[in-house]
Amino acid sequence: MLANLNANQTIGKHIYKDELKPLQDRLAALQQRVRAAGLPVLIVFEGWGAAGKGTSIGKLVNPLDPRHFDVLTMGKISDEMLMRPFLWGYWCRIPSKGQITVIDKSWHRIILPEEREKWELNPQVTDNFYQDVNAFERQLTQDGTLLIKLFLHISQPEQARRFKALEEDPSTAWRVKPHDWAQNKNYDAHLKRFEQMLEMTGTELNPWHVVEADDRRYSGLKICRTIVDAIEARLEAPAGKAAAPAGNAREERASFPKVLAGVKADQYIENAEYKEELDFYQTRMNRFGHKMYVKRRPVIIVYEGWDAAGKGGNIKRLVAELDPRCYTVVPIGPPTPHELGRHYLWRFIRRLPKDGHFTIFDRSWYGRVLIERVESLTPEPVWRRAYDEINEMEQHCSRHGAVILKFWLHIDKDEQLKRFEARMNDPAKQHKITDADWVNRENWDAYEVATDEMFAKTHKPHAPWVVVESNNKKYARIKVLKTVTDALDEALK
């Protein structure tokens, strides 16, 4: 693909001048329309060293109102990024509705050897790199983001010329690094890498635009035209077609194993045994927490379950003996307007643990297929595609080395009523019960259907669901502690 391409397309000075100005005017006008339409636009620049990414971005944003775009320069990867799955830093920076974000060096960088070294990646990650990247891009596009991917292509002699020119000017000499010359010397090997990347990640939904960039005028025009065309096409697409395909929108209402109906919620533990086991497992938790820190393995724990099932008290016992500098408990409520401006996974992914740390989510991304489904807060095709999105996200974390456990705290309907009433009658606990709890209770059956489907679709070996019988809170606490410490023990082997 690249090999057959003539990087040296040229264009005359006058044609350039005549064509550029109207394109820039169109782009400036489009920026206003993008804001008005609430369209998130993500423009990715990749390409050879010295292919002119910086200059091209400069020309591109020149006509834009500088208050309403972002340019992300990811030249140096921050240590915050290096301590998390490699897509994390990009997820955190996706544009909100109406925003234009330009990225200079994106997640595709990982195909370069000098980048891989920095990240110290698991083989699992590199082996599945293209799958994770394509899932990420598809998720953004399905959510309505316009993703425009540009690859700037220059020839070997042109690249050498540019490196030399940079080196000869004392004010720019520092920009040429040893790995730049290595790229030029091993041009053919890199060409193969780039071609593979273009092929593997150039999907129908998110194709690459290769820009011949030996001539700066030619590439400048082509970049500008590509972007203007893409934005115009999206803004002018008929409403129905504007959104990307919605995934498994038309899936049959299948029937799933009735897991919850079969659970005996009233498992029991004696008080004396409870005290002994609590002490045993909390000590174990402390020791393993410490070891996970030393081994730099992150842990993600999700709590879901019926209202009043005892999540708060359960979490408290789980972390009681953990070093408080190593864990965070994240309570999840309804999304804020700020959070609604982006893909629904954004607010969870931002909170993922650093290597060696625990994050415990008190409710989670599963709200998408539980409350949002049951209360029709989200259209069916959208929550349906969340099963894939969730699986892909957890898979990505797992490949990075995360231990993932998901608990469903289960009580039966009678027990819930008893607890609701106890809360109503205790002034110190009245704040813990709200109208929403009673509404959820009325939807019990619908939640049971949604939960069973969730189990069927998102229970994975690397991110299992564990139903915790919680009529007896003490039993439930021990079961969670035992499950978590067993999983850590296994992970530490």
Binding site for a second copy (CB under 8 A): 54, 57-58, 61-62, 65-68, 70-71, 73, 76, 78-80, 102, 104, 171, 174, 287, 290-291, 294, 312, 315-316, 319-321, 323-331, 336, 338, 360, 362
- Measured CA to CA, the distance from residue 247 to residue 439 in angstroms comes to 30
Least Cβ distance, residue 319 to a second copy (angstroms): 5
Least Cβ distance, residue 306 to a second copy (angstroms): 18
CB 139 within 8 A of CB 392: yes
Q: Quick one: tokens of 486?
A: 């067993």
Least Cβ distance, residue 333 to a second copy (angstroms): 11
- First-last CA distance in the chain: 45
Least Cβ distance, residue 193 to a second copy (angstroms): 24
Q: Which is nearer to a second copy, 117 or 323 (CB)?
A: 323
Least Cβ distance, residue 320 to a second copy (angstroms): 6
Q: Is 314 exposed, middle or buried (0-12, 13-18, 19+ CB in 10 A)?
A: buried
Residues 186, 190, 191: CA angle, nearest 5 degrees:
115
Least Cβ distance, residue 217 to a second copy (angstroms): 18
Q: Which is nearer to a second copy, 71 or 182 (CB)?
A: 71
Q: Which is nearer to a second copy, 330 or 446 (CB)?
A: 330
Q: Which is nearer to a second copy, 85 or 289 (CB)?
A: 289
DSSP string across 42-106? EEEEEESTTSSHHHHHHHHHTTS-GGGEEEEE-SSPPHHHHTS-TTHHHHHT---TT-EEEEES-
- Measured CA to CA, the distance from residue 126 to residue 132 in angstroms comes to 10
3-class DSSP assignment, residue 100: strand
Q: Which is nearer to a second copy, 185 or 338 (CB)?
A: 338
Q: Which is nearer to a second copy, 78 or 376 (CB)?
A: 78
Sign of CA dihedral 21, 23, 26, 30: negative
Residue 449 CB contacts under 8 Å (≥ 6 apart), including other chains: none
